[in-house]
């Protein structure tokens, strides 16, 4: 039986929030939820300040790589 590898969590930092000031905070770290269709249109699925996930233009964010120990803490805190 093959073991299915768990995809690494992906994180971004908001760098533009014009028009979405109540939903996105500049400088805040957000987790990206997998959504191939959104990515195909240049969007990222983000859980914003409302606690709901929405698609936002990818150019509003800067992608970062976090160390595995930090990733585990962030994922646990979000669940």
Residue 59 lies in a domain: yes
Q: Look at residue 15 and tell me if it is in a domain.
A: yes
pLDDT digit string (tens) for 6-26? Answer: 566 789 999 999 999 999 999
**Parent domain of 26:** 10-78
Q: Is residue 3 part of a domain?
A: no
pLDDT at 20 (0 to 100): 95
The reply to whether 57 falls in a domain is: yes
Q: What is the pLDDT of residue 66?
A: 87
Taking the alpha carbons at both ends of the chain, their separation in whole angstroms is 28
Query: In three state form, how does the secondary structure of 19-79 look?
Result: CCCCCCCCCCEEEEECCHHHHHCCEEEEECCCCCEEEEEHHHEEEECCCHHHHHHHHHHHC
Task: Express each pLDDT in 31-75 by its tens digit.
Answer: 999 999 999 999 999 989 998 999 999 999 999 988 888 888 988
CATH number of the domain where residue 23 is located: 2.30.30
The model carries a pTM of 0.81
């Amino acid at each position: 039986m093959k073991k299915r590898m768990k995809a690494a969590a992906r994180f971004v930092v908001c760098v533009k929030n014009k028009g979405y000031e109540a939903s996105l905070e500049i400088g805040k770290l957000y987790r990206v939820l997998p959504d191939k269709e959104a990515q195909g249109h240049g969007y990222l699925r983000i859980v914003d300040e409302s606690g709901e996930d929405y698609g936002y233009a990818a150019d509003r964010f800067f992608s970062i790589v976090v160390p595995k120990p930090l990733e585990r803490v962030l994922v646990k805190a979000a669940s």
